[in-house]
Amino acid sequence: MFRSKIPVYILYILFLSFIILIFYPSISFAAYPKLISTIINAFESIKTWIIRIATPAAAVAVRYWSIYAKIQLWR
């Protein structure tokens, strides 16, 4: 009795996998959903703010490092 149900289960699994392979990619890869596009835009704006903040801070750090190097040479 157990051996007779194996082909039925295999056909059922193959049928479900065939249906999933046909219909799932067209739904999932269509375009960006609204939530994901909002998150991407948020990260892009965060990136621009980090660049705006980090650029003057890096310039100040380089300037103070050169002053620190000159003080170390005087010792």
Helix (H, G, I), strand (E, B) or coil at 31: coil
At residue 57, the pLDDT reads 77
Mean predicted confidence (pLDDT) in 55-62: 78
> Has residue 13 got a pLDDT over 80?
yes
pTM of the model: 0.40
CA dihedral of 56, 62, 67, 72, whole degrees rounded to 10: 150
CA–CA gap between residue 49 and residue 75 (Å, rounded): 40
- pLDDT above 60 (res 27): no
